[in-house]
Amino acid sequence: MNLLDRILYKWLFRSLANQLLITYLLVITLSLVFVSLWALVAIRKESLTDLQNTMEVEAINLGLEIDNDLVLDSPLSRQRIQAAVERRATRLGVSIVVVDKDGRLLADSQPIAQKENLSNEQEINEALAGVISKTTRSEPASNLNMLYVACPVRSMGETTGVIRVGVQLTQIERRLQKDLIVFLEIILATGVITVFISLLMARRLNRPVQEMSALAKQISISGDFSAFLPVRRQDEIGELCLSFNQMIGRLREQERVRQEFISNASHELKTPTMAIGSVVDAMLAGASEDPKLRAQFLGSLERLVERQTSLIQDLLDISKLDSGLDSNWQEEVSIVSLVNDTVEQLRPQADKKQISISTQMTLDSAGGNDLVVLGNGSQLQRAITNVLQNAINYTPAGGSVSVSARAVGGDKLEIKVQDTGVGIDSADLPHIFDRFYRADKARTRETGGTGLGLAIVREIIARHHGSMDVESLVGRGSTFVILIPLRQSGPEGA
């Protein structure tokens, strides 16, 4: 590619405005050229027909004027014919010849000597045969393009001679040239106006695109989501700017959530780590000598490490769910055994707190033996465990928890976990599914919660295309309801 090519390439293909401009120009110029050519051809045809008609009328009129003299064929009559021919030719600016019935030249409007006998010329020959003849040809002698109209002169049914009117086609051509120049001027003027208008239009279209591209570049370099695009238009480009802004807004929100998550996670990790540090310090300082103290310190170390491990596990789980990686989400999961297993795993904890757990399973209304959903069994078990664990954690000793599963509306599974616990304040309800959110910070720190449990549940249920709802009254208890689409059994299952 040479330099010019490269500059042109850059100018054209790196700019939307220039591409639009060139397209407009090409379309308009091409259509103008096409229309002009078409008009010129039509004008030429029309002018020729007009001219031929006028020439024919003149020839006929001249014929009427000289038909007697043609028959007489005397020197005097010849003079009269010559005079009539010259008069008419001068008036019209054409050349006229008159020949007798044998094609011999009788009169000529032009001084240049013609051939004596013109019967060989095509149009004269045809006119002598009695028809009006029109031809265009180039005269070898003068090298001029001529249009000829030859008319027979008749007297008493006999052809007594022929009048031929001739005109140089250059006259018409000159007129056409003038028209062509006018057309070219129009094309040029339209071209200039088009360039101007399309430049304006292209700039108008291009400006938001350029702004968008600049902002996208700035964001990709700096990662700063603070700036928005100005929305000045209401068309598709305006809509694009709006969507772009919405996207920035979302990214900004995601970035905020991400940073908050990291800061919360670090904080949550720091607390037990520092506690572990203090216990270890105390033991190094001599507390490990006393067997009673040592057992006590080791006990707290064990609890702290457990808490740390479970927090790290939660963080890993949630980031795995976020990244979308992870296991199969298309397993057939039978819910009845899953819920029963989960309840049995947590029953010892409930027993310890003297909380009774009851379960109620309503089997598939379609007559199947189980409630089956498509998804991931261990993740679903994790979700139910978290909800049930909360019910046990936030219910005082002597309370009760009930778990039920049933099909609703024929195509959904409903899992309900109800407790008679402390309940959740209505101000906290909208936030309990947020990461690290705890309704009562002091109380939950005692029970060891980090506020990730329900956030994990929400992600898992979303992965199953399900939804979650909660109702709660402070001091009376809470009810968590999970809805997940049931596997639609095919014809073989029905």
Ligand X SMILES: Nc1ncnc2c1ncn2[C@@H]1O[C@H](COP(=O)(O)OP(=O)(O)OP(=O)(O)O)[C@@H](O)[C@H]1O
Q: Kindly list the residues in this chain that would bind ligand X in the complex (CB under 6 A).
A: 314, 386, 390-391, 394, 419, 421-424, 432, 437-440, 444, 449-455, 478
Question: Cα Rg for the chain, rounded, in angstroms?
Answer: 52
In the list Mg ion, ligand X, none, the entry touching 452 (Cβ below 5 to 8 angstroms by class) is ligand X
Residue 103 contact among ligand X, Mg ion, none, beta carbon within 5 to 8 Å by kind = none
Q: Is 56 or 434 the residue whose CB approaches ligand X more closely?
A: 434
Comparison of 89 and 468: residue with beta carbon closer to Mg ion: 468
Distances (CA, A) of 140 to 119, 143, 144: 17, 5, 8
Instruction: State the binding partner of 444 from Mg ion, ligand X, none, CB within 5 to 8 A by kind.
Output: ligand X
The first and second tokens of residue 280, run together, are: 């270890």
User: Whole-number minimum distance, CB 297 to Mg ion, in Å?
Assistant: 27
Interacting partner of 419 out of ligand X, Mg ion, none (Cβ under 5 to 8 A depending on kind) = ligand X
With CA atoms as reference, report the closest residue to 314 among 377, 254, 382.
382
CB of 437 to Mg ion, least distance (A): 11
Given ligand X, Mg ion, none, residue 133, with its beta carbon under 5 to 8 Å by kind, binds none
- The footprint of Mg ion (CB under 5 A) covers 390, 449, 453
Pick what 377 binds: Mg ion, ligand X, none; C-beta below 5 to 8 Å, kind-dependent. none
Residue 475 tokens, joined: 């001091």
Residue 333 interacts, among ligand X, Mg ion, none and using kind-specific CB cut-offs from 5 to 8 Å, with none
CA 176, 178, 184, 186 dihedral sign is negative
- Own/partner contacts of 24-27, CB < 8 Å, gap of 24 or more, are 24/194, 24/197, 24/198, 24/201, 25/191, 25/194, 25/195, 25/198
* Choice between 166 and 423, CB closer to ligand X: 423
Cα 173 from Cα 273, distance rounded (Å): 101
Q: State the minimum distance, in angstroms, from the CB of residue 400 to ligand X.
A: 12
- Tell me the closest approach of the beta carbon of residue 391 to ligand X, in angstroms: 5
Please state the closest distance from residue 385 (CB atom) to Mg ion, in A.
10
Helix (H) or strand (E) holding 336: helix 335-352
Extract the tokens encoding 192.
């200039």
State the nearest-atom distance from the C-beta of 439 to Mg ion, in Å: 11
- Give φ, ψ of 153 to 5 degrees: -105, 130
Which residue lies nearer to ligand X by CB, 161 or 449?
449
Binding at 152: pick from Mg ion, ligand X, none (beta carbon under 5-8 Å per type): none
Return the one option of ligand X, Mg ion, none that residue 208 interacts with (CB less than 5 to 8 A, by type). Answer: none
Q: 359: buried, middle or exposed (CB in 10 Å: 19+, 13-18, 0-12)?
A: middle
Tokens read off for 144:
């001029």
For ligand X, the closer of residues 148 and 437 by Cβ is 437
Least distance from Mg ion to the Cβ atom of residue 390, Å: 4
**Of 321 and 452, which has the nearer Cβ to ligand X?**
452
Question: Which one of Mg ion, ligand X, none interacts with residue 394, CB within 5 to 8 A by kind?
Answer: ligand X
Q: Which residue has tokens 């898992």?
A: 460
Specify the amino acid at residue 65: E
Nearer to ligand X, 49 or 319 (CB): 319
Q: State both tokens at 454.
A: 């329900």
Which residue has the CB atom at the shortest distance from Mg ion? 453
The interface partner of residue 407, options being Mg ion, ligand X, none and the CB cut-off 5 to 8 Å by kind, is: none
Tokens describing residue 59: 């020839």
Q: How far is the CB of 320 from Mg ion (least distance, A)?
A: 18
Residue 420: strand, helix, or coil = coil
* 115 to 97, 104, 125, 330, 420: CA distances (angstroms): 11, 9, 14, 105, 131
DSSP assignment string, 115-157: PSB-TTSHHHHHHHTTS-EEEEEEETTTTEEEEEEEEEEEETT
The pair of structure tokens assigned to 307 is 């808490």
Q: How far is the CB of 444 from ligand X (least distance, A)?
A: 4
For the CB of residue 420, give the shortest distance to Mg ion in the complex, in Å.
17
| Residue among 152 and 453 whose Cβ is closer to Mg ion | 453
Which of Mg ion, ligand X, none has residue 439 at its interface (CB below 5 to 8 Å by kind)? ligand X
Write down the least CB distance from residue 431 to ligand X, Å: 8
Nearest to Mg ion of 63, 451 (CB atom)? 451
Tell me how far, at minimum, the Cβ of 494 lies from ligand X, in Å: 38
Residue 327 gets which letter from DSSP? S
Residue 245: is it exposed, middle or buried by C-beta count within 10 angstroms (0-12/13-18/19+)?
Answer: middle
**Closer residue to Mg ion in complex, CB, 21/457:** 457
**Rounded CA separation 324/319 (Å):** 9
Select 81 or 392, whichever has its Cβ closest to Mg ion: 392
Nearer to ligand X by C-beta: 4 or 427?
Answer: 427
DSSP letters spanning 166-209? EEEHHHHHHHHHHHHHHHHHHHHHHHHHHHHHHHHHHHHHHHHH
DSSP three-state, residue 373: strand
Report the length, in residues, of the chain.
Answer: 494
